[in-house]
Amino acid sequence: MSIAHAARRIPQAACCIGCRHFLHEPQALERALPGMATLSSAYAAVRADDGLCALHDRYVAASSSCERYNAPQAA
Amino acid sequence: MAELAQRANAPLGLRSSFWGALVRKEDWWAIWIGLGLVAIAIAWFAAGGSVKWIAVAPQKWSHLAEVSAQLKQHGLQYAALFVLWAAAFGVGAAMLGIAISRFLPAFLAIFTAATAIYFLGLWDQSAHYNLEPPLVALGLGLLISNTVGAPRWLQPALRVEFYIKTGIVLLGAALPLTLIAWAGPTAIVQAAIVSLATFGTIYFAALKLGLDKRLAATLGTGGAVCGVSGAIAVGGAVGAKKEHVSVAISLVVLWAIAMIFVLPLLARGLRLPTGVAGAWIGTSEFADAAGLAAAQSYGGYAGNVPGIGGAPDAAVTAFTLMKVIGRDMWIGVWAFVLSLVATARWERTGVQSNLGAAEIWRRFPKFVLGFLIASAVVTVVSQGHDYTAYKKDVLPALVAPLQTFRTWAFTFAFLSIGLTTRLREFAAFGARPFYAFAIGVAVNVSLGFVLSTQVFSGFWERLAQ
């Protein structure tokens, strides 16, 4: 894939922010990543809404997506 | 990860909208609090008064009896100042999701400790014993958190970035916009040279050592742009492994804390003028809070250590111009570009990145806007006053109280750095990431030194005067 093509792509509807495997609450993130609150913050604008994916064990942007998206069950 | 299991039945998450971010991101709360204080100060000044009554600060002292006398005389003012800060930061913390009932008692402890440290810094022997308030705050915090441990009830008020960003917004009120416009381009050029060289060094050293490209980029941005904030911004943008983000955070924090002590010590040994030292620290420190601790400490040497020239505030001014204008502002660009490269050129991870150009704004450190607005507003208010009138009226009644507020905010931050640094909790990072980062540090510090003290030295010396 070219860089120009990558830049044109738009976020998909079923992205990480809505997935049950995604952890992005600030307080939980700061507990999961020791040192984050020492010289930065999970509440900072630079973090946007990034979070941890338990499935892939990666720190990913909220707009990311994968084939194993799993929406939370309806309450 | 146990918390992830609890999310199974949680409602769908939503990305922060523009309006939502205004109340859910601490950058914006730093702006509301900082600019709110600036607005109140200006309103009072316009009405012929000043907020200096509540902007109370310790004065120079020689004997403990004088401390006691100051506290008796100004006790009500210190209480009012506490109420002001507690209300401002308490509301902000509550909007961020931190229970105000847990925040307030913890903040009372932070305020009390900060007051003691502020007084210690005004002891007439403090420079002789190297008791610079930022270093004392940091050292005390580190000692407590790594021996007996900071109590859990204190955690809600240990918000380093919240305090430091608020302080930076207030710092803008003391810098004329014309100065920022004059010095900004030089800061951007110097910072760009060092950032690109440092990133390239760490990235290629890491690859040479066999490390993953995403780890290399996360480490590189942490060292080159804005420390932990840079590491998490790029770590998320490129989809780094969780353990790699933890490694980058650990390395950045450890090096940044070491540099708080090392850079002022080296600059002091070389008797660098305050502006030059501030520019060097701004180029070579990794995080805003750590760099401001180093720069404010160095500013304290002016007039107290023979051979160190320049205005005390010039170190913090040069640091801020270099770090905030030269480096921090560009983090969104770094994250966006690296996400494109990762998507297009690096091996697939199973997670598809979908970042667009809007990410440059989304990740922009918004507190920088508050810093610039504060500068612009106070510059406009100061128009119409000649230099004599500025020194006689505007400085003591408007700017000086805002500088005092800023010093308080920074002291809360410096204390919080040490108290949140629990070394035993940091991720183990192994030799190869350490070597890659250390090589980058060597390049960063050396190049920053040459640019600050040789190439652009005349510029930063003028700033110091």
Name the H helices within B47-172: 64-96, 100-121, 133-145, 160-172
User: At A58, which helix (H) or strand (E)?
Assistant: strand A58-60
Say whether residue A23 is in contact with chain B using an 8 A CB cutoff: yes
Residues in Cβ contact with B231 at an 8 Å cutoff, skipping those fewer than 6 apart: A40, B218, B219, B221, B222, B245, B248, B249, B252
In angstroms, the CA B268 to CA B262 distance is 10
Does A16 reside within a domain? yes
Residues of A in contact with B230 (CB under 8 A): 46
Nearest CA-CA distance, residue B453 and chain A, Å: 27
B343 assigned to some structural domain = yes
Please give the tally of structural domains in chain A.
1
Distance of CA B13 to the CA centre of its chain: 30
ipTM: 0.90
Yes or no, beta carbons of B15 and A63 under 8 Å apart: yes
- For the record, the structure tokens of A7 come out as 């830049």
Alpha-carbon distances, residue B313 vs B267, B363, B373 (angstroms): 16, 29, 20
pLDDT at A7 > cutoff 60: no
Give chain B positions within 8 Å (CB) of A44. 25-27, 161, 229, 232, 365
For B425, the closest of A34, A41, A73 (CB atoms) is: A34
Residues of chain B with C-beta less than 8 angstroms from the C-beta of A73 = 8-9
Cβ <8 Å between A35 and B159:
no
Mutation target vs A (from B27, B95, B232, B285; most A CBs, 10 A cutoff): B232
How distant is the Cα of B212 from the closest Cα of chain A, in angstroms?
Answer: 13
pLDDT in single tens digits along all 465 residues of chain B:
444 444 434 444 556 677 888 889 999 999 999 999 999 999 999 999 999 999 999 999 999 999 999 999 999 999 999 999 999 999 999 999 999 999 999 999 999 999 999 999 999 988 788 788 899 999 999 999 999 999 999 999 999 999 999 999 999 999 999 989 989 899 999 999 999 999 999 999 999 999 999 999 999 999 999 999 999 999 999 999 999 999 999 999 999 999 999 999 999 999 999 999 999 999 999 999 999 999 999 998 988 889 998 999 999 999 999 999 999 999 999 999 999 999 999 999 989 888 889 989 999 999 999 999 999 999 999 988 888 888 899 999 999 999 999 999 999 999 999 999 988 888 778 899 999 999 999 999 999 999 999 999 988 988 766
The beta-carbon neighbor of B352 closest among A22, A62, A65 is: A65
- Give me the residue label for tokens 């700017």: B399
Q: What 3-state DSSP class applies to A75? A: coil
Report yes or no on B2 lying in a domain.
no
Number of domains in chain B: 1
With vertex at residue B81, the alpha carbon angle to CA B80 and CA B87, rounded to the nearest 5 degrees, is 90
- Element counts in chain A: helices (H) and strands (E): 3, 3
> Could B236 and A38 be called an inter-chain contact, meaning their C-beta atoms sit closer than 8 Å?
no
In the block, residue with structure tokens 């630079």: A46
Q: Residue B463: what pLDDT?
A: 77
Q: Are B354 and A15 in contact (CB under 8 A)?
A: yes
Contacts 24+ apart (CB under 8 A), B148-154: B149/B422, B150/B419, B150/B420, B150/B422, B153/B102, B153/B105, B153/B106, B154/B106, B154/B109, B154/B110, B154/B419
> pLDDT, tens digit, for every residue of A23-33?
999 999 999 99
Query: Cβ(A38)–Cβ(B420) under 8 Å?
Result: yes
In a domain? residue B3: no
> At A73, phi and psi to the nearest 5?
-70, 150
Residue A57: which of B242, B365, B425 has the nearest Cβ? B242
Which single residue is written with the structure tokens 């012929």? B48
For residue B105, give the amino acid letter.
P
Three-state DSSP class for A24?
coil
Residue B178 lies in a domain: yes
Q: Give domain status of residue A72, yes or no.
A: no
**Complete edge-to-edge strand list for the sheet that includes strand A22-23:** A22-23, A51-53, A58-60
Report yes or no on B228 lying in a domain: yes
Contacts of B243 in chain A (CB under 8 A): 57
Contact B286, B269 (CB under 8 A): no
Q: How far apart are CA A73 and CA B215, in angstroms?
A: 34
**Residues contacting residue B445 through CB under 8 Å, at least 6 positions apart:** B259, B263, B284
**Residue B161 pLDDT:** 96
CA separation, residue B397 to residues B175, B353, B376, B464 (Å)? 16, 52, 18, 23
Query: Is residue A10 very low, low, confident or very high in pLDDT (cuts 50, 70, 90)?
Result: very low
pTM (2 decimals)? 0.92
| B10's tokens | 């949680």
Structural domain contains residue B205 = yes
In a domain, B74, yes or no: yes
The token duo for B143 is 């000692």
Q: Cite the DSSP H helix spans in B300-386.
A: 312-320, 331-345, 359-362, 367-382
Q: Is the dihedral of CA B235, B238, B242, B244 positive or negative?
A: negative
Is the CB of A28 inside 8 Å of chain B's CB atoms? yes
**Using CA atoms in the order B374, B375, B376, B378, what is the torsion angle rounded to 10 degrees?**
80
Query: Which structural domain range is residue B59 located in?
Result: 22-464
A70 in a structural domain? no
Is residue B17 domain-resident? no
Give the domain extent around A54.
3-60
